[in-house]
Amino acid sequence: MIDYIELGSSPSGEDCAQLGTTGYYERMTVEIGELRRMMERVHPVPLGYVSARYGRKAFEHDFGMYYELCAYFDDRDSVSIDWAFEAERCVPERWDATARQALAAILTIEEQAALYHK
């Protein structure tokens, strides 16, 4: 059966889109996309494993739907399981240069300053 581990919507040491704020969906979409690309560089999906993948998942909250990047895996396949739990351990604490550049295109001046001064 396919299961998942939540990886978050951005690196743990970074600010992220906040549910209920203006532009949440747009910013979250870019952040999760960049986190996914970072994870694919840091911890790629095993070749040939269709049961192991990164994907965005919606979750319900009192304030609306929020989204996170998840590592999906087949709970009957040890390679897939090991990959997913290792993905959880590999989530970076900070955005890399490639992600910072992509995020800068959608952030305010104040948000950009915070992004580059961490």
Q: Where are the domains of the chain?
A: 2-116
Residue 110 has pLDDT above 90, yes or no: no
Q: Which residues contact 39 (CB under 8 A, 6 or more apart)?
A: 7, 54, 69, 71, 87, 90, 91
Torsion of CA 42, 73, 84, 18, to 10 degrees: 80
Average pLDDT over residues 12-34: 88
Is the overall model pTM greater than 0.95, yes or no? Answer: no
CB count in 10 Å sphere of residue 49? 14
Query: What pLDDT, on the 0 to 100 scale, is given for residue 50?
Result: 80
Query: What pLDDT, on the 0 to 100 scale, is given for residue 15?
Result: 86
Separation CA 90–CA 93 (nearest Å): 9
pLDDT (tens digit per residue) in 59-78: 988 877 899 999 999 999 99
Residue 109 has pLDDT above 60, yes or no: no
Residue 45 has pLDDT above 90, yes or no: yes
